[in-house]
């Protein structure tokens, strides 16, 4: 054995040495290179929750991210093919502001629909564990947007990423690993500015990004009414959802959309939801103040983490300190919170949207509670028939077990039980250790 190979073998004896060796080698390796942290099993509590909700450990997943609320949801497919919310994870830190990422260095975390394949999962991340969102996707590239290595990772530190605690990313990573092991080819991430409620849309009615957000809402509405992963394509520099083009035609992000067909039952349900939401937004505009200016504020932090950070760092305390209680993971000493109110988002001096104590209590007591829109969708699983709505871009939902693919875009925590401790990910190639 040559000295480099011997040296590399020795590096694999310890997790930190493994990270160093694989970073120098471009992070290319075989199954033995996968770090122990990436093989952590799901906890018995999480496995029990999965069973309780009619899912399996290896059933497909879908992820939703909400900037303003600083929350990440993991949805999982049930045995009947529908998706249901498994868990909601408070986000420890995100950077930038609401709105899409535009260029390298703007500190914006991406917004849009992204596809995560096994090769985007990084078991050797410098931020404990991570997965690459795949920015820029076809939509982003059609607008000339630039940026690389935009991740969901641990370490509670962000520069254009969504940062969790190490304990949280370990479980999210394990859920993705198990889904891939079960046969899912890729999972979808819906990265959103906020929960697409009429109240939020009314608050942000004057925001330049509003047309973009309305386009994103077409996709989230499709998911909410069908509880199936929407198939995503891009044409005419817009997202289209569940669209099947005429024979011999395809989608090009920079060209006009071809003729395509959609499933009328889902399309009608989406149309009804959009009409109801639009009516409610119009009703709320008169009584709802516009969102405050966040100029100079870099990102946000879930209030459960902000309260805990202030409790542990008296120098950051201003006025009364909110009782923190337990936080879902360890906040590194290098973390720097945004200068905002205790809700983790609102500028100091503006009116906060929700009582901070309520937000903290929900994060600590009921991590699997659905958002109101999702809860309503789950309560009414009917699939009504109706007229075609081609412009909305919807087609027949996937059959149970069928995988739908969206557009292919191209501190240390303790190793605690998080299922499948012996499963491994396919080799992944990374040009960064992020």
User: What is the model's pLDDT at position 351?
Assistant: 73
Regions of the chain short of the pLDDT cut 50: 1-33, 369-433
H, E, C per residue of 42-59: CCHHHHHHHHHCCECCCC
Beta carbons within 10 angstroms of residue 281's beta carbon: 18
User: What is the model's pLDDT at position 295?
Assistant: 85
Calculate the alpha carbon distances from 398 to 83, 259, 305, 394 in Å.
11, 21, 38, 12
- Helix, strand, coil tally for the chain in percent (to 5): 30, 15, 55
What is the DSSP track for 78-139? BTTS-EEEEEEEE-SEE-S-SS---STTS-PPP-EEEEE-GGGEETT-TTSSEEE---S-HH
Please tell me the distance from the alpha carbon of residue 252 to that of residue 214, in angstroms, as a whole number: 21
Residue positions counted in the chain:
434
Q: What is the pLDDT of residues 63-81, one digit of tens each?
A: 999 999 999 999 999 999 9
Q: Provide the annotated active-site residues.
A: 153, 161
Reference 382, options 44, 18, 66, 82; nearest CA is 82
Contact 129, 27 (CB under 8 A): no
Beta-bridge mates of residue 187: 116
- End-to-end CA separation in angstroms for the chain: 30
Phi, psi (deg, nearest 5) at residue 369: -75, 125
User: What is the model's pLDDT at position 203?
Assistant: 96
For residue 237, what are its two tokens? 């520099």
pTM: 0.77
Q: What is the CA radius of gyration of the chain?
A: 22
């Amino acid at each position: 054995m040559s000295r480099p190979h011997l040296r590399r073998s020795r590096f694999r004896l310890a997790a930190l040495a493994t990270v160093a060796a694989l970073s120098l080698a471009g992070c290319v390796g075989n199954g033995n290179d996968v770090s122990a942290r990436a093989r952590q099993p799901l906890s018995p509590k999480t496995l029990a929750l999965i069973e309780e909700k009619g899912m399996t450990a290896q059933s497909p997943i879908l992820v939703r991210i909400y900037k303003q609320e600083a929350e990440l949801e993991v949805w999982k497919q049930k045995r009947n093919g529908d998706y249901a919310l498994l868990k909601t994870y408070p986000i420890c830190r995100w950077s930038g502001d609401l709105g899409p990422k535009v260029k390298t260095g703007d500190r914006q975390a991406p917004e849009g629909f992204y596809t995560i394949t096994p090769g985007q999962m990084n078991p050797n991340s410098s931020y404990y564990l991570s997965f690459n969102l795949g920015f820029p996707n076809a939509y982003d590239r059609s607008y000339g947007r630039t940026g690389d290595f935009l991740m969901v990772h641990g370490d509670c530190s962000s520069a254009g990423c969504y940062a969790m605690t190490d304990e949280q990313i370990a479980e999210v990573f394990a859920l993705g690993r198990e889904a891939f092991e079960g046969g899912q080819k890729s999972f979808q991430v819906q990265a959103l500015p906020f929960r697409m409620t009429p109240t939020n849309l009314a608050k942000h009615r004057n925001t330049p990004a509003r047309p973009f957000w309305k386009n994103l809402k077409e996709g989230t509405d499709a998911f909410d009414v069908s509880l199936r992963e929407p198939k995503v394509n891009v044409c005419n520099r817009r997202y289209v959802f569940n669209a099947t083009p005429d024979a011999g035609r395809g989608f090009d992000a920079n060209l006009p959309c071809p003729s395509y067909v959609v499933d009328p039952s889902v399309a009608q349900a989406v149309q009804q939801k959009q009409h109801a939401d639009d009516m409610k937004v119009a009703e709320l505009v008169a009584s709802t103040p516009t969102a405050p200016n966040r100029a100079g504020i870099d990102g946000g932090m879930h209030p459960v983490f902000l309260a805990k950070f202030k409790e542990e760092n008296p120098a950051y305390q201003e006025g009364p300190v909110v009782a923190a209680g337990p936080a879902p993971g360890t906040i590194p000493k290098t973390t720097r919170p945004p200068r905002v109110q205790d809700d983790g988002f609102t500028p100091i001096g503006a009116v906060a949207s929700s009582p901070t104590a309520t937000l903290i209590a929900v994060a600590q007591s009921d991590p699997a509670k659905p958002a109101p829109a999702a809860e309503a969708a789950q309560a009414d699983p009917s699939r009504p028939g109706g007229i075609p709505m081609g412009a909305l871009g919807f087609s027949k939902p996937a059959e149970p077990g069928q995988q739908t693919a969206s557009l292919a875009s191209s501190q240390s925590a303790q190793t605690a039980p998080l299922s499948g401790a012996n499963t491994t990910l396919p080799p992944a190639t990374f040009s960064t250790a992020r």
